[in-house]
Amino acid sequence: MNTLHVKTGDTVQVISGRSKGGKGKVVAVSPKEGQVIIEGVNLVTKHVKPKRQGETGGIVKAEGPVRACKVMLVCPKCGKAVRTGVRIDGDTKKRYCKKCNAEF
Ligand SMILES: [Zn+2]
Protein backbone atom coordinates (compact mmCIF):
# COMPACT_ATOMS: atom_id res chain seq x y z
CA MET A 1 0.00 0.00 0.00
CA ASN A 2 1.12 3.46 -0.87
CA THR A 3 1.15 5.91 1.93
CA LEU A 4 1.88 9.57 1.98
CA HIS A 5 3.80 11.48 4.60
CA VAL A 6 0.69 13.45 5.37
CA LYS A 7 -2.77 12.32 6.31
CA THR A 8 -6.23 13.74 6.70
CA GLY A 9 -6.41 16.22 9.54
CA ASP A 10 -2.76 17.27 9.33
CA THR A 11 -1.88 20.90 8.96
CA VAL A 12 0.47 21.36 6.06
CA GLN A 13 2.24 24.10 4.18
CA VAL A 14 2.83 24.18 0.44
CA ILE A 15 6.51 24.66 -0.29
CA SER A 16 6.55 24.95 -4.05
CA GLY A 17 4.34 25.41 -7.06
CA ARG A 18 1.39 27.63 -7.71
CA SER A 19 0.06 27.53 -4.17
CA LYS A 20 3.42 28.10 -2.50
CA GLY A 21 3.06 29.40 1.03
CA GLY A 22 -0.50 28.18 1.36
CA LYS A 23 -1.24 26.62 4.69
CA GLY A 24 -4.22 24.62 5.80
CA LYS A 25 -5.71 21.42 7.00
CA VAL A 26 -5.65 18.32 4.85
CA VAL A 27 -9.22 17.37 4.09
CA ALA A 28 -8.53 14.49 1.71
CA VAL A 29 -5.61 12.43 0.47
CA SER A 30 -5.31 10.20 -2.53
CA PRO A 31 -2.21 8.07 -2.12
CA LYS A 32 -2.67 6.55 -5.56
CA GLU A 33 -2.37 9.88 -7.29
CA GLY A 34 0.00 11.29 -4.70
CA GLN A 35 -2.27 14.22 -4.17
CA VAL A 36 -3.85 15.98 -1.27
CA ILE A 37 -6.70 18.42 -0.90
CA ILE A 38 -5.98 21.24 1.52
CA GLU A 39 -8.64 23.40 3.04
CA GLY A 40 -8.59 26.85 1.43
CA VAL A 41 -5.52 26.12 -0.71
CA ASN A 42 -5.34 25.98 -4.51
CA LEU A 43 -8.86 27.22 -4.98
CA VAL A 44 -10.11 26.64 -8.45
CA THR A 45 -13.13 28.24 -9.95
CA LYS A 46 -15.74 25.98 -11.32
CA HIS A 47 -18.54 27.12 -13.51
CA VAL A 48 -21.71 25.38 -12.62
CA LYS A 49 -24.49 25.06 -15.09
CA PRO A 50 -28.03 25.15 -13.88
CA LYS A 51 -29.25 21.58 -13.73
CA ARG A 52 -32.91 22.31 -13.51
CA GLN A 53 -35.07 25.02 -14.85
CA GLY A 54 -35.28 27.90 -12.44
CA GLU A 55 -31.88 27.15 -10.95
CA THR A 56 -29.17 29.64 -11.51
CA GLY A 57 -25.78 28.59 -12.67
CA GLY A 58 -22.82 30.17 -11.08
CA ILE A 59 -19.24 30.14 -10.12
CA VAL A 60 -18.20 27.89 -7.30
CA LYS A 61 -14.83 27.84 -5.67
CA ALA A 62 -13.44 24.50 -4.69
CA GLU A 63 -10.09 23.21 -3.56
CA GLY A 64 -8.02 21.59 -6.25
CA PRO A 65 -5.52 18.82 -5.54
CA VAL A 66 -1.92 19.66 -4.66
CA ARG A 67 0.91 17.22 -5.22
CA ALA A 68 1.85 15.65 -1.93
CA CYS A 69 5.56 16.06 -2.65
CA LYS A 70 5.05 19.82 -2.59
CA VAL A 71 3.67 19.97 0.90
CA MET A 72 5.38 19.79 4.23
CA LEU A 73 3.83 18.95 7.51
CA VAL A 74 3.45 21.79 9.97
CA CYS A 75 4.59 20.60 13.36
CA PRO A 76 1.78 21.02 15.92
CA LYS A 77 4.36 21.84 18.56
CA CYS A 78 6.82 24.26 16.99
CA GLY A 79 4.39 25.51 14.34
CA LYS A 80 6.90 25.32 11.51
CA ALA A 81 6.88 23.44 8.25
CA VAL A 82 9.25 20.64 9.11
CA ARG A 83 10.76 17.45 7.90
CA THR A 84 9.45 14.46 9.70
CA GLY A 85 10.98 11.16 10.52
CA VAL A 86 9.42 7.90 11.49
CA ARG A 87 10.24 6.11 14.68
CA ILE A 88 9.19 2.56 15.37
CA ASP A 89 7.82 2.10 18.83
CA GLY A 90 6.93 -1.53 19.31
CA ASP A 91 4.24 -2.19 16.73
CA THR A 92 3.38 1.41 16.06
CA LYS A 93 5.01 3.89 13.80
CA LYS A 94 5.32 7.34 15.17
CA ARG A 95 6.14 10.41 13.20
CA TYR A 96 8.35 12.96 14.77
CA CYS A 97 9.48 16.48 14.05
CA LYS A 98 13.13 16.66 13.07
CA LYS A 99 13.30 20.15 14.48
CA CYS A 100 11.86 19.92 17.97
CA ASN A 101 11.64 16.14 18.28
CA ALA A 102 7.92 16.15 19.15
CA GLU A 103 6.06 12.99 18.29
CA PHE A 104 2.66 13.07 16.64
ZN1 LIG B 1 8.42 20.66 15.86
List, in order, residues 6 or more apart from 40 with CB less than 8 Å away: 22, 24, 63
Q: Give the global pTM.
A: 0.82
User: What's the 13 CA to ligand 1 centre distance in angstroms?
Assistant: 14
User: What's the 98 CA to ligand 1 centre distance in angstroms?
Assistant: 7
Q: pLDDT for 45-90, tens place per residue?
A: 988 888 888 888 888 899 999 999 999 999 999 999 999 999 999 9
User: What's the 73 CA to ligand 1 centre distance in angstroms?
Assistant: 10
Residue 2: predicted pLDDT: 62
User: What's the 24 CA to ligand 1 centre distance in angstroms?
Assistant: 17
Question: In 10 A of CB 72, how many CB atoms?
Answer: 19
**CATH code for the part of the protein at 11-76:** 2.30.30.30
Q: Contact at 8 Å (CB) between 48 and 24?
A: no
User: What's the 86 CA to ligand 1 centre distance in angstroms?
Assistant: 14
HSE of 104 in the Cβ direction (CA atoms, 13 Å)?
Answer: 22
Residue ranges of domains in the chain: 11-76
